[in-house]
Amino acid sequence: MTELTFREQIDQEDSALFYQFQDPQEKVADKLMEIGMPVTHDDLEYIEHRVYHDYVGTVDHDLKDPGH
């Protein structure tokens, strides 16, 4: 039987409360990082992916801009 120390119990409770009150977008980013999906530009492995990511990012930004 495994028993948790008092510190481990407090840490588990803190992490559960943090997760419960965390911003939903941050939860998604955390889950994506856990499974190894690139989240930021620096996480992309190959230069080709970075170039495509930069291009698609600018296109998406232009689409969201109503003045464009």
Q: What ranges do the domains of the chain cover? A: 1-37, 39-68
Q: How confident is the model at residue 1 (pLDDT cuts 50, 70, 90)?
A: very low
The answer to whether the beta carbons of residues 22 and 29 sit under 8 Å apart is: no
pLDDT > 70 fraction of the chain, expressed in percent and rounded: 54
pLDDT surpassing 80 at residue 14 = yes
CA dist 35 and 59 (Å) reads 27
Q: What is the widest separation between alpha-carbon atoms in the chain?
A: 64
